[in-house]
Amino acid sequence: MKLLLYLLLSLAALPALAQRPPDRRLQHELDSIRGEDLRYRKLMARFRKGKADSLATVLQVPKAQVSSYVLAAMHRTDSTNLRRVEDIIWRYGYPGKSLVGSPTNEAAWAVLQHSDKIPQYLIWVQGAAEAGEIPYPLYAQMLDRKLMDDGQEQVYGTQTTGYTVLDHATGRQHTIAFVWPIQDLAHVDKRRRQAGFTTTLAQSAAAKGFPAQPATLEYALWLQQEAAQLAAQLR
């Protein structure tokens, strides 16, 4: 049923995709979008690794303004990329492997994953994954992201987060990072294997520098509330 829905949506947007060779013009556009999507995220990664001095020189902004400059540029780029990807999806359907080849078929997913439009496009990504147009783990990550955003337990354990809260004992701020809560935790590694992941939850968490044990949903939502209250106080 899900696959049928995806095919109907795709056919409504563009007939006879299967008869076409990869669309080189669209492939080039999506590769450009993916490059732009990564550009400022790579800069933020450098900033978090203590490279503010070199970034200030490259970007020609004061060191104290590097973070805000990069974040503002990233948000502008994300907004532009999202409009372009939405237009592509509504003209062609999800631009999967059959249309643009691999790894270009992952470009639209990356833009959607970094947006607030996951609820609108999750069905397209699910259909593309079930049809073999994108790797299934990409859909799993997007589903987990939506569940986390909705304050629900995730399925595959792909999402991590952190909240800056006030330590009421010391009066100091500190950040608590954790794997977002997971439903049916005892069987998560089985679900991960079935979805095509090559690592266990513990291996994935360790690679990101997070504790392997996810938080409980009650604790995660409490931290979320505490962080929101702290942010409100600092405004």
Are 8 and 121 contained in the same domain? yes
Q: What angle do CA 153, 159, 162 make, to 5 degrees?
A: 95
In a domain, residue 174? The reply is yes
Residue 9, both tokens:
């949506």
Are 18 and 110 contained in the same domain? yes
In a domain, residue 129? The reply is yes
- What pTM value is reported for the model? 0.87
Are 34 and 89 contained in the same domain? yes
In a domain, residue 183? The reply is yes
Peptide bond into 211 cis (omega under 30): no
Euclidean distance between CA atoms 203 and 210, whole angstroms: 10
Length of the chain: 235
Are 33 and 89 contained in the same domain? yes
Query: What local confidence, expressed as pLDDT, does residue 16 receive?
Result: 43
In a domain, residue 70? The reply is yes
Which pLDDT tens digits describe the chain residue by residue (235 residues)? Answer: 555 555 555 544 444 444 566 789 999 999 999 999 999 999 888 888 888 888 888 888 898 888 898 999 999 999 999 999 999 999 999 999 999 999 999 999 999 999 999 999 999 999 999 999 999 999 999 999 999 999 999 999 999 999 999 998 898 999 999 999 999 999 999 999 999 999 999 999 999 999 999 999 999 999 999 999 999 988 8
Query: What local confidence, expressed as pLDDT, does residue 10 receive?
Result: 55
Euclidean distance between CA atoms 77 and 84, whole angstroms: 11
Q: Which residues form the domain of 53?
A: 1-134
Query: What local confidence, expressed as pLDDT, does residue 12 receive?
Result: 46
Contact (Cβ atoms closer than 8 angstroms) between residue 33 and residue 107: yes
Residue 138, both tokens:
């990409």
Which of 134, 165, 182 corresponds to the end of one domain?
A: 134
Number of domains in the chain: 2
Query: What local confidence, expressed as pLDDT, does residue 20 receive?
Result: 63
The torsion defined by the Cα of 43, 47, 51 and 52, in degrees rounded to 10, comes to 100
Contact (Cβ atoms closer than 8 angstroms) between residue 109 and residue 121: no
